[in-house]
Amino acid sequence: MDKPLILISNDDGIEAAGIHSLVDYVKEYGDVWVVAPDRPHSGQSSAMTVNQPLHISQKPDYNGAHMFSVSGTPVDCVKLAYHTILPRIPDLMLSGINHGSNAGNSIIYSGTMGAVMEATTIGIPAVGYSLLSHSPNADFSETERFIRHITSRVLRHGLPAGICLNVNFPADVKIEGMKVVRAATSHWTEEFQEYTDPHGHKFYWLKGRIINEEPEAEDTDLTWLDRGYATIVPARVNQNALDCLQSTADLLDL
């Protein structure tokens, strides 16, 4: 019987340390194919490329994994992998390990999770992994045993239709354990830095940090990451607010 086919992508690009660590940690579970952006695409959410052509480049294998880069977004990578690159439908899709947090409401903007949600839409069980460090030299070793545990369980049992997992790891600490929790209600303080160019025109650069709107809550990812735990958030791709159909009709006098 064939080994399971595992597709790996990310949003930091095919040269990021995190994607190589992920290959190292999961290669024993299957036939690993990496299809990742040719450059960083942080903050790309579920963006896809509609007005430009896409190029695929095969790279030298890494630690037994087939390596392909795509001149597009994380979603483009999953779409092209599925339709053009892979020899068959993947049994599992993994994204990351992202350099930086995707906890709280960061899932909205995350290219790492954009790739995961694209795979989920296609019907492939998918998990995103992120470490709370933006360093290109981040130490991922503490995450290995958790990634191996989660990956092997999801490969064996699958996930419910339309549900994916968003896994975040604290950085620079001994990880205490894993918690299945919800994402904290949060938002970014989008404090733009303002500059003036040599011609006297202003320009702006996004900075900002995440604000936990419920710091006292005991059941959120931001709370448990602060306590040194890996957090696992089951997320639903479908955003239908079924409980609001009637109230919306009432509000609109329909």
Q: Please give the residues from 89 up to 108 whose contact with a second copy meets the rule CB under 8 A.
A: 105, 107-108
Q: How far apart are CA 93 and CA 34, in angstroms?
A: 10
Name which of 174 and 201 has its Cβ closer to a second copy. 201
Name which of 58 and 63 has its Cβ closer to a second copy. 58
Name which of 63 and 227 has its Cβ closer to a second copy. 227
**Interface residues for a second copy in 116-155 (CB under 8 A)?**
117, 121-122, 149-150, 153-154
**Interface residues for a second copy in 44-83 (CB under 8 A)?**
44-56, 73, 75-76, 79-80, 82-83
Name which of 3 and 182 has its Cβ closer to a second copy. 182
Stretch that binds a second copy, among 22-30, 59-67, 136-144, 199-207 (CB under 8 A): 199-207
**Interface residues for a second copy in 161-180 (CB under 8 A)?**
163, 165, 178-180
Q: Are 8 and 34 in contact (CB under 8 A)?
A: yes
Q: How far apart are CA 47 and CA 116, in angstroms?
A: 13
Stretch that binds a second copy, among 1-9, 27-35, 37-45, 137-145 (CB under 8 A): 37-45
Whole-Å CA distances, 57 to 33, 42, 238: 13, 20, 32
Question: Which uninterrupted H or E stretch holds 155?
Answer: helix 144-157
Q: Are 16 and 10 in contact (CB under 8 A)?
A: yes
Q: Which residue in the set 157, 174, 199, 209 belongs to the binding site for a second copy (CB under 8 A)?
A: 157
Give backbone dihedrals phi and psi of 76, rounded to 5 degrees, phi first.
-55, -40
**Interface residues for a second copy in 5-34 (CB under 8 A)?**
none
The β-bridge relationship of strands 126-131 and 163-169 is: parallel
191 binds a second copy, rule: CB under 8 A: yes
Name which of 32 and 107 has its Cβ closer to a second copy. 107
> Token pair of 108, please?
């909205």
Stretch that binds a second copy, among 26-34, 61-69, 89-97, 191-199 (CB under 8 A): 191-199
Q: How far apart are CA 117 and CA 91, in angstroms?
A: 15
Q: Are 124 and 9 in contact (CB under 8 A)?
A: no
Q: Which residue in the set 3, 145, 227, 236 belongs to the binding site for a second copy (CB under 8 A)?
A: 236
| SS3 assignment, position 205 | strand
